[in-house]
Structure 1
C-alpha cells in the first residue's frame, strides 16, 4: 500500500487529468480525525459537508469556485420529491 504522500500525489494527478478532459466529477469522502482530507481540498472546486445529528440531516457548503452560497449548517430532508434544504 502506498504511503500517504504517494497517495495524495496520485489523487492530485488523477483530478488534474479529469479537469484537462473537461469531466465533471463528484468525489465522496468520509473524514475522521485520523484521516483528514484538508490537504486535498485545495484542488476541489467545491466542498459540501453532510452530517446527521440529534436534530436530523444537515448540509453545509464550505467552498465553491465561481458561485455564491449561504454559509453555515442547514437542515435538509430527503423525500420522494428529492432533497429539500431549509436555509433558515
Structure 2
C-alpha cells in the first residue's frame, strides 16, 4: 500500500509541481501565432484547448523524465544491494 501511495505521489503530484514551477516553458509550447492570426479577436476556446494540449505534453514529458530517473535509480539500488550481498 505504501508503494502505491508513493507511486501515485510520484506520477501525479510531482509533475504538477514541476509543471507549475516551469510555467514559462509551458507558454512556449502554445502556438500563439496561430491563435492571434486566425481571428481578429483570439478565440478563448482555441486558446484554452491549446493551453490544455500543451499542459498535457509538458505533463507527459515530465512523467517520462521522472519515470526514467526512477528506473535508473531502482536499477542502481538493486545492483548495489546484490553487490553488498556477495
Flag the structure with larger Rg. Answer: 2
Establish whether TM, by shorter chain, passes 0.5: no
Bin for the TM-score computed over the shorter chain: under 0.3
The TM-score normalised by the length of structure 2 is 0.25
Tell me which of the two structures has the higher relative contact order, counting C-alpha pairs closer than 8 angstroms and 6 or more residues apart: 2
Query: What TM-score, normalized to structure 1?
Result: 0.24
Larger strand fraction of residues: 1
